[in-house]
């Protein structure tokens, strides 16, 4: 039945997005912490991540296919590509958030006798959290959209219907993929936006 | 009385720029030494060498009879209260959490922290029922500075460092906070190093005044003697008093 097929594609889509955004967060967090103290390295890293962002998604998927170990056709390649795209907003916002902590607050944390780790965990990260979350939100919404293209390299998800519909010249099948993807993007935006407003009230 | 802080030929350079040059100064227990100077005179840098926010490039600073370089920086800082201009409170913590910060870092039990926080808020003139659970952004500038002072006093440090703590306050609140500072200092018998560019504040609060000019100590005098000082920078500062008195 089509309905159950859409549901399983939707769950698959959600899974692809969660894994990719999760991986991007896991990579960005330690990298951002290292980058805040190093201006030179920061410019270079953000530059590289920026360039990745400018590669058209279909082209990036294509580039990854022939690369051994990480490439090929399927979910692994999809997740790697989506993770690369999610890096920029998350990493950039994390760096901006941590660096945006008031100098007086940081100085008094140091002067109260907090260690580097305590300053990071108890001052910098909590204060940067709303900004970091805003980056995660942008990345999530964008990834939900980009993930539909993943079907082109066998990534699965809601994009499967979109590509099938194009091949069949049947707009109903295209919409069966496009509408749930759009709804998912709006829902993710709302939920993360609500969460973001809650935590920014705290700081 | 014994010597709590001692600056021995302290130098600080960034590249070729000299920020502090050959500063020698002793601070006895119970004194309030005011570091007076214009912006860029090096007074804040000198203050920060005491708790090693700044490490001198030459000479040494001594605290409780031991060179600060011999101290563990974290232990040193927890024995020295620090108050800065906008208080530097943690915006994501309540007043109670801010005040209890150092005791928490020192691993005190919750009950002991609670008692101490109550005591400190009372001392700082803040009603705990009203202010305890507020966040810094819900306070006025003067209230924030009261919290800042309470936080600095939390672990009962023998020394307080204050970096223009009242400079951003309106004149009336500033005056009230200066009186409050005198009251606290005299009742708690704390030693203090106090940075300011305001000669009135220096004369009001300091037992001694150390005047800095371009990174050098120009003169160190008891507050009562400072008004008759004859060095050029001292005259320049004193002149700002005369223009008012002459009117």
Question: Which residues of chain A have a CB within 8 Å of the CB of B91?
Answer: 102, 105, 127, 203
CB atoms within 10 A of CB B123: 17
Distance CA B153, CA A190 (A): 45
pLDDT at B80 over 90: yes
Separation in Å, CA of A116 to nearest CA in chain B: 10
Mean model confidence pLDDT for chain B: 92
List domains and CATH numbers for chain A: 2-202 (1.10.3720.10)
Taking the Cβ of residue B74 and every Cβ of chain A, the question of whether any pair is shorter than 8 Å is answered with: yes
Cα gap A159→A156, rounded to integer Å: 7
pLDDT at B58: 93
Closest CA to A158 of A140, A169, A144, A170: A144
Least Cα separation, residue A194 to chain B (angstroms)? 19
CA dihedral B92, B94, B100, B104 (to 10 degrees): -40
Chain B residues with beta carbon closer than 8 angstroms to that of A133: none
Q: Which two tokens stand for residue B228?
A: 């008759």
**Cβ A95 vs Cβ A28: under 8 Å:** no
Bridging pattern class, strands B216-222 and B191-196: unpaired
Chain A residues close to B88, C-beta within 8 Å: 102, 104-105, 107-109
How high is the pLDDT of residue A18? 95
ipTM associated with this complex: 0.88
Residue B89: list chain A partners with CB under 8 A. 105, 108
Nearest to A105 among B51, B80, B88 (CB): B88
Written as tens digits, the pLDDT of chain A (203 aa) is: 478 888 999 999 999 999 999 999 999 999 999 998 888 899 899 888 888 888 888 888 888 888 877 777 778 888 988 999 899 899 999 999 999 999 999 999 999 999 999 999 999 999 999 999 999 999 999 999 999 988 888 888 899 999 999 999 999 999 999 999 999 999 999 999 998 888 876 65
Nearest 5°: phi and psi at A55? -70, 130
Residue A23 CA to chain centroid, in angstroms?
8
What pLDDT, on a 0 to 100 scale, did the predictor assign at position A203? 52
Least CB–CB distance from B101: residue in A104, A112, A203:
A112
Asked if A112's CB is within 8 angstroms of B90's CB, the reply is no
Strand order in the sheet with B191-196: B80-83, B159-163, B191-196, B32-37, B208-213, B216-222
Beta strands B208-213 and B191-196 are unpaired
CB of A200 within 8 Å of a chain B CB? The answer is no
Which of A181, A188, A186, A172 is closest to A146 using CA atoms? A181
CA distance A113 to A118: 9
Residue bearing tokens 């994390």: A94
How many whole angstroms separate alpha carbon B159 and alpha carbon B33? 11
């Amino acid at each position: 039945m089509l309905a159950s097929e859409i549901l399983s594609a939707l769950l698959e889509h959600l899974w692809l997005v969660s894994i990719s955004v999760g991986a991007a967060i896991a990579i960005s967090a330690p990298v951002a912490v290292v980058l805040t103290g190093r201006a030179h390295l920061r410019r270079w890293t953000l530059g590289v991540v920026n360039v990745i962002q400018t590669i058209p998604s279909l082209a990036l998927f294509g580039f990854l296919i022939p690369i051994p170990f990480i490439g090929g056709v399927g979910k692994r390649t999809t997740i790697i590509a989506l993770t690369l795209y999610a890096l920029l907003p998350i990493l950039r916002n994390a760096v901006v958030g941590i660096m945006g902590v008031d100098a007086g607050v940081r100085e008094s944390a140091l002067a109260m006798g907090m260690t580097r780790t305590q300053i990071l965990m108890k001052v910098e990260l909590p204060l940067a959290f709303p900004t970091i979350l805003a980056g995660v939100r942008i990345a999530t919404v964008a990834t939900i959209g980009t993930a539909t293209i993943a079907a082109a390299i066998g990534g699965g998800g809601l994009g499967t219907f979109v590509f099938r519909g194009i091949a069949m010249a049947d707009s109903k099948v295209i919409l069966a993929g496009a509408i749930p993807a759009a709804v998912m993007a709006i829902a993710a935006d709302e939920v993360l936006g609500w969460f973001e407003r809650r935590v920014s009230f705290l700081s | 009385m014994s010597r709590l802080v001692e600056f021995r030929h302290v130098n600080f350079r960034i590249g070729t720029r000299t920020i502090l040059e050959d500063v020698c100064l002793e601070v006895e227990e119970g004194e309030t030494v005011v570091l007076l100077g214009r912006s860029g005179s090096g007074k804040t840098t000198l203050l920060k060498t005491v708790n090693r926010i700044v490490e001198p490039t030459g000479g040494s600073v001594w605290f409780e009879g031991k060179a600060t370089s011999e101290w563990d920086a974290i232990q040193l800082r927890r024995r020295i209260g620090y108050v800065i201009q906008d208080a530097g409170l943690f915006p994501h913590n309540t007043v109670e959490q801010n005040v209890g910060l150092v005791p928490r870092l020192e691993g005190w039990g919750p009950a002991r922290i609670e008692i101490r926080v109550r005591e400190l808020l009372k001392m700082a003139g803040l009603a705990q029922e009203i202010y305890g659970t507020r966040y810094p952004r819900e306070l006025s500038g003067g209230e924030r500075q009261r919290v800042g002072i309470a936080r600095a006093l939390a672990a009962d440090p023998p020394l307080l460092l204050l970096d223009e703590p009242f400079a951003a306050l309106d004149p009336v609140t500033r005056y009230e906070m200066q009186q409050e500072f005198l009251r606290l200092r005299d009742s708690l018998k704390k030693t203090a190093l106090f940075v300011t560019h305001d000669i009135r504040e220096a004369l009001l609060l300091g037992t001694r005044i150390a005047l800095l000019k371009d990174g050098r100590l120009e003169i160190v005098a008891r507050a009562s003697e400072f008004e008759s000082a004859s060095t050029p920078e001292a005259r320049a500062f004193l002149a700002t008093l005369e223009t008012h008195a002459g009117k």
